[in-house]
Amino acid sequence: MSHSRPSEPPRTTLTAVLASFRRAFAGIALMSGVVNVLALTGSFFMLQVYDRVIPGRSVPTLVGLCLFAGTLFLFQGVLELIRSRLLVRIGMALDARLSGQVYTALMRLPLRTKLPGDGLQSLRDLDQVRSFLSSAGPTALFDLPWMPLYLAICFLFHFWIGMTALLGAIILFALTLLAELRTRETAKRANSQAASRNTLAEATRRNVEVLQAMGFGPRIADRWSAVNDDYLKTNAKASDLAGTLGTISKVVRMMLQSGILAIGAWLVIHQEATGGIMIASSIIMSRALAPIELAIVHWKSFVSARQAGARLTHLLGLLPEAATTVSLPPPSFRLSVERISVAPPGERRLVVQDAGFVLEKGAGLGIIGPSASGKSSLVRAIAGVWLPVRGTVRLDGATLDQWSSEDLGKHVGYLPQDVELFDGTIAENIARFEPRPPSDKILTAARAAGVHDLVVHLPEGYETRIGEAGSALSAGQRQRVALARALYGDPFLVILDEPNSNLDADGEAALTAAIQGVRDRGGMAIVVAHRPSALQSLDQILVMTNGSIQAFGPKNEIMTNVTRPISVPLKVVPSPEEAAL
């Protein structure tokens, strides 16, 4: 038995990732402090020019001040550039740390619960958080703590200059609070409407053939336009509010700058201040209020990023804690389904109730029954796609959760009812995108699925790119390539859900041979079937009705029973625990 290994990547929260950058944020805070001190350069330059250079007519002093101020301005610019680039790198690093888990959530959580919108909201949320961190918005948060310094200097110049600057700060703070109260719900509603719009657009893309053939595309387009109009109106409302508050803050700042110049001039007239103080106080007050004004301008982005972060935190919280599993040996002799009940992800309605049976190696089981009887739901639970509400599924006595998803996948081949392939080559799809797969394994799976001859007759053979969702192949070709993918690596358990729905006679013959091949090598095959041709190479049958197993046993015996009137009693298989009593 090999060593222990984590079954999933360690879970990391958004807060934990941001906390891991605390040294970088501390560096940004330090740089912001230096930048804000250097921002006083212009004010004191004007103070010296008006109060010393002009009265003294000293050209050397003016040249020296210009050189000194220019050096400080250059240093300030370099620090601001470094700060900006550091924030961009933090955003990139945060994306790199979380994108893997967000993608894992996209793969895992739809099988456990319902995700809002089109399911891709979490990726857009991560983009939103990264974009905000990389923008000028966060710099306002680092500059705000230095506002008291500028206000204190204004008070040192004169009490009324300080009071004017303080009044301006209070007004802009009130505007910021108003922005928070007015944009929060609007931004949330706009995000919800955007998700609905994207969901409908994706559904349209998937069903374009149906829309074209039956001519109800314009009606769906009208529905999308209505949803899009609602989104545009809500988004426009949020943008108008942000623009209005931004304009008000700009007007207030300009009025305050003129006002403080007027107060300074009044003080100069009464010989309570100098001309240098009048000009310098205007510049310092402008710098004091700049972080608040910048915060108002970026408040919409801040609210969107905060809500996106909250959604990401909730999403990552749904992921199970990383567990450490012992690498078990490959299963080789038994599948036990022990009284499992199954419900679709995010729902409480059971679609399978108390299903139980046992299969030994070499078995071939056909699952039959009317539509919506729970056949596909049952095999999803057996394959580990859906978690049973009750009961367990075991391979060689071990429950499925004792394997990591990656390890379990090596022993399970699964062909779902709706075949989906990934954009890539045929070889990559058959090999499940395994890095550097052995060619002989690909060829073995393709021959077992009877698709080898079909592939080699394509212009580029196994290197043929199949397009998004396999669009370059016919439905039958996609199904046979997906069958080869299910057979890749000779998995012990092969589960096929209506594998012959798009196959011609040659394809069905290849399918029968593939199922028999799985059994002959000591594996087991489970086939959900509506057509009798899919049952040829199977030796056992399970009949489902209304989510319950009605019969299970040898094919000849069960097929004889199911052809009789429905009143004939059929045996329900007990669970292994009941059989032992």
Give the DSSP per-residue string, 250-314. Answer: HHHHHHHHHHHHHHHHHHHHTTSS-HHHHHHHHHHHHHHHHHHHHHHHTHHHHHHHHHHHHHHHH
Cβ(538)–Cβ(364) below 8 Å: yes
pLDDT, residue 573, reads 40
Residue 259 identity (one-letter amino acid): G
Class of domain 329-580: alpha beta
CA distance 484 to 415: 9
Q: For residue 59, count other CB atoms closer than 10 A to its CB.
A: 9
- CATH 3.40.50.300 in the chain is located at 329-580
CA distance 282 to 249: 16
**Residue 195: HSE in the Cβ half-sphere, 13 Å Cα cutoff:** 18
pLDDT, residue 321, reads 64
pLDDT, residue 569, reads 36
Residue 188 identity (one-letter amino acid): K
pLDDT, residue 324, reads 52
Architecture category of domain 13-318 in CATH: Up-down Bundle (1.20)
CA distance 483 to 32: 60
Instruction: Tell me the β-bridge partners of 138.
Output: none
Could you give the C-alpha distances from 519 to 38, 415, 497, 511, in angstroms and in order? 78, 17, 17, 13
Joined together, the tokens standing for residue 295 give 């915060």
pLDDT, residue 469, reads 63
The pLDDT tens digits of the residues spanning 174-186 come to 887 787 777 777 8
pLDDT, residue 402, reads 87
- CATH 1.20.1560.10 in the chain is located at 13-318
- Regions of the chain where pLDDT drops below 50: 1-9, 563-581
Pairing of strands 548-554, 398-399: unpaired
Joined together, the tokens standing for residue 96 give 């790199």
Dihedral pair phi/psi, residue 360, rounded to 5°: -105, 165
The pLDDT tens digits of the residues spanning 339-382 come to 999 998 878 889 999 999 999 999 999 999 888 889 999 999 99
CA distance 455 to 97: 39
pLDDT, residue 5, reads 45
CA distance 135 to 83: 11
